[in-house]
Amino acid sequence: MVARALGYTYIDSGAMYRAVTLKALRTAVPVTDVNEVARLAERIELAFGKGYEKTVIYLDGEDISLAIRTPEIDHEISPVAANRLVREILVKKQQELGKDGGVVMDGRDIGTVVFPGAELKIFMIASVEERASRRLKELEQKGEHIQFEEVAEEIRRRDREDTQRSHGPLKKADDAVELDTTNLSIHQQVGIILQLAKSKITSPQEPF
């Protein structure tokens, strides 16, 4: 929504790791096989499409936007996201996509690894309970039924693994603006971020 309001390109970096995870599962490559998963990441073609309120991502020409948002992918993605070789490959792809600026990119290492020189970094947080509630609603809309505590525990597990991994860990950049979204609607979040972005756009900035 922020990207659309600014006329920027939106890039969901997490969707790229989910796509690699999906490819591994489809081709029976163990997600813990560091080298084979990296080879998959190197060979696949990823592209983003225009979406109104959701990420549209293509894997080798196939729209996998819904296929990557399942509990199975949630459960299997951590070894892929922690894979140093995969991260190096996807970081290069992300940097290529955003090299000319004019992008809104999200992900757990964007402000610290992918674009440490970004003009605006926002570190968004929310309580585990609120994140689980939001995730549960997404899954229910897709016809999937899962217990609240199971979703919450999956979020806690991923947070632990992502903050403790040695490559591209989940970490707040020193110059990032922290935004607690627990009690904010999506429209309130967008409004706050747009204000921050526009203050940067209207002030002289160093090159991206």
Q: Tell me how far apart the alpha carbons of residues 13 and 10 are, in angstroms, rounded to a whole number.
A: 10
Q: Tell me how far apart the alpha carbons of residues 208 and 202 are, in angstroms, rounded to a whole number.
A: 15
Find the mean pLDDT for residues 57-86: 94
Structural domains of the chain, ranges and CATH numbers in brackets? 2-201 (3.40.50.300)
For residue 18, the one-letter residue type is: R
Tens of pLDDT, residue by residue over 2-37, are 998 998 888 899 999 999 999 999 999 999 999 999
Percent of the chain with pLDDT over 70: 95
pLDDT value at residue 15: 94
Q: Tell me how far apart the alpha carbons of residues 171 and 177 are, in angstroms, rounded to a whole number.
A: 13
* Residue 187 reports pLDDT greater than 60: yes
Q: Tell me how far apart the alpha carbons of residues 165 and 85 are, in angstroms, rounded to a whole number.
A: 13
Q: Tell me how far apart the alpha carbons of residues 65 and 50 are, in angstroms, rounded to a whole number.
A: 12
Which is more confident, 170 or 50? 170
